[in-house]
Amino acid sequence: MNLFWPAAIAFGVGVILMWALRLIVIKGRLREAKREAQDIIESAQWAQDALLDQVKKEVEEFKEEKFKKWEEEAQKIKAKIEDKKEQLQEKEESLQEELRKQESLYKKKKSWVEGLSKKVNFRKQVYQAKKEAFQKNLKDFLDQLKEKGKEKDLSSLKQEIKERLLHEVKTEVLKQTQIESEELQQQLERRAKQIIYKALHRFIRPYCPERGIGYLNFQSDIEKERVLGPNNTHLRWIEQECGVDLIYDEKNNSINISGFDPVRRELARECVEKIMREKRVSQERIKKTVSQTKRELFRKIRRDGVQIAKELKLEGLHPEILDMMGSLRYRYSFTQNQYFHCGEVGFLCGLLSSELGLDVMDGRRAGMLHDIGKSMDHSREGGHAVIGADFIKERGEPDHIVHAVRAHHYDEQPSTELAYLVIAADALSGARPGARRSTAASYMQKMEDLLKVAESFDHIKETQILSGGREVRVSVDGEKVSDMDALNLSKEISKKIEEECAYPGQIKVTVVRSTNAVAIAK
């Protein structure tokens, strides 16, 4: 019994201590758990803050990226808007310019209509005055007719009245015809001058004074010996290979190159220049030089043909046409280089076509090709206009271009606007100052031709050639030639000059009819 209670007490104390120790452990674990929970909470809070910072940073980066992209898109859209504004501005300016042109055209037409209306009103007044005068004259005429009917036979009276009326009508018609013809001619000349003035002021092609060289001078006896050879054998070999005549001018110490083919003349000139520089000259060397020079010359001719077509922006030309155009570089007419002449005519005809609202490329094409026949007129029969027209027709050129080429010297009657524009452009290029040189013999021949044409008509008293052949003035017998006959005579002389003479520019024909009225006072 004594052991039981101590044991029980000890057991109870042990239990109490165990539970106390357990409570202590539990409290320690709770504190540890709280600390861990606090750490977890703090870690979570830190992770949350870090995540929020990352998210904010990503949001900012996203915003910046999107803003930058939006700004780029906005710049593009802004640029497009500016472009559209500029286009709209240009369109508006274009429409304003077109509106101003239309207003100007409207004012001109309105002014023309008003002027025409004034003319109509004036003609009405004139008509009314003539009508009243006619009624008065008719009344006087009937009164006179009644008086004369008593004195003359009716048939003779009718004939006399008929002749008188016919004469008066002819005189009136002639006067009116002359007035209207002069007014129309003046209007046409003013319009033509305006068109030519505008075309010439738009023409910026440079003038080229290139001239042909028909002779070569020897600079030394060595050069002369190389070209001539023993007994002129080298000269004969060059002639044989090039197909030209080479004439040694001992007085001027030079070689004259003669031949119908301008390309062969150029070939001979280049060959002679090369042989002048050769150290050893033989027949074989001359053949080789001619062959090499011929190849180089043909390549140059093709380049020149392509170049002139490129300058005029013409496409689709046959290769043989280009070759013939290039060969015109060595063809001259009155010392005017025909290659550059064709280029000028092409540009001028295109400008004139533009002023008249016609196809510019057709004008350039016809103008450039108009003298292509001159590159082959030494080897074919016929005029260069006909030869050239046939040549380009065989190479596929359109009919209206062929007609313009064929008709530019009236070998065929011009029937299109393009044909007349080619004629005008050809005259402008050939007649401008400095373009051509006329010799004294050709000038005198022109004077003789014009005199011969003018004096071939009847009732011509005197003929004068004025302004260097630009005007033909004829005096007629006023008693044998009436005003109407004088008008018809001027047209007939002009037509005959066009048919029989071929000179650049215009020739004015003036018919002077004088009537002498003599009275003697006693």
> How does DSSP assign 419-442, residue by residue?
HHHHHHHHHHHHHSTTS----HHH
Give tens-digit pLDDT for 6-47. Answer: 777 777 777 787 777 777 878 777 777 778 778 788 777 787
CB-CB neighbours of 346 under 10 Å: 27
Which of 9-23, 108-122, 308-322 has maximum average pLDDT? 308-322
Residues 372 and 405: their CA atoms lie apart, in Å, by: 9
For residue 363, give the nearest of 243, 199, 230 by alpha carbon: 199
For residue 263, give the nearest of 315, 304, 318, 308 by alpha carbon: 304
Pairing of strands 508-514, 471-477: parallel
Residues 286 and 277: their CA atoms lie apart, in Å, by: 12
342 or 439, greater pLDDT: 342
CB-CB neighbours of 78 under 10 Å: 11
What's the whole-number average pLDDT of the chain? 81
pLDDT bracket for residue 345 (50, 70, 90) = very high
Whole-angstrom CA distances from 180 to 185, 186, 188, 456 are: 8, 10, 12, 29
Strands (E), 267-411: 332-333, 336-337
pLDDT at 433: 58
Whole-angstrom CA distances from 298 to 151, 167, 293 are: 94, 71, 9
- Asked whether residue 484 carries a pLDDT value surpassing 80, the answer given is no
Q: Which CATH superfamily is domain 440-513 in?
A: Cation efflux protein, cytoplasmic domain (3.30.70.1350)
For the segment 491-510, the average pLDDT, to the nearest whole number, is 78
473 contacts 512 by C-beta, under 8 angstroms: yes
Task: Please name every residue paired with 258 in a beta bridge, in sequence order, or none if there are none.
Answer: 245
pLDDT bracket for residue 140 (50, 70, 90) = confident
Task: Cite the residue boundaries of each domain of the chain with CATH code 3.30.70.1350.
Answer: 440-513
What is the DSSP annotation of 24-71?
HHHHHHHHHHHHHHHHHHHHHHHHHHHHHHHHHHHHHHHHHHHHHHHH
What is the DSSP annotation of 444-482?
HHHHHHHHHHHTTSTTEEEEEEEGGGTEEEEEEETTTS-
pLDDT bracket for residue 483 (50, 70, 90) = confident
Helix axes of 399-406 and 360-369: crossing angle, nearest 10 degrees = 50
Each residue of 423-437: b (16+ CB within 10 Å) or e?
bbbbbbbbebeebbe
- Asked whether residue 391 carries a pLDDT value surpassing 90, the answer given is yes
pTM of the model: 0.54
CATH architecture of 215-431: Orthogonal Bundle (1.10)
pLDDT at 362: 94
139 or 207, greater pLDDT: 139
Task: Cite the residue boundaries of each domain of the chain with CATH code 1.10.3210.
Answer: 215-431
Give tens-digit pLDDT for 362-389. Answer: 999 999 999 999 888 777 888 889 999 9
Give tens-digit pLDDT for 238-253. Answer: 888 888 888 888 788 8
For the segment 482-488, the average pLDDT, to the nearest whole number, is 77
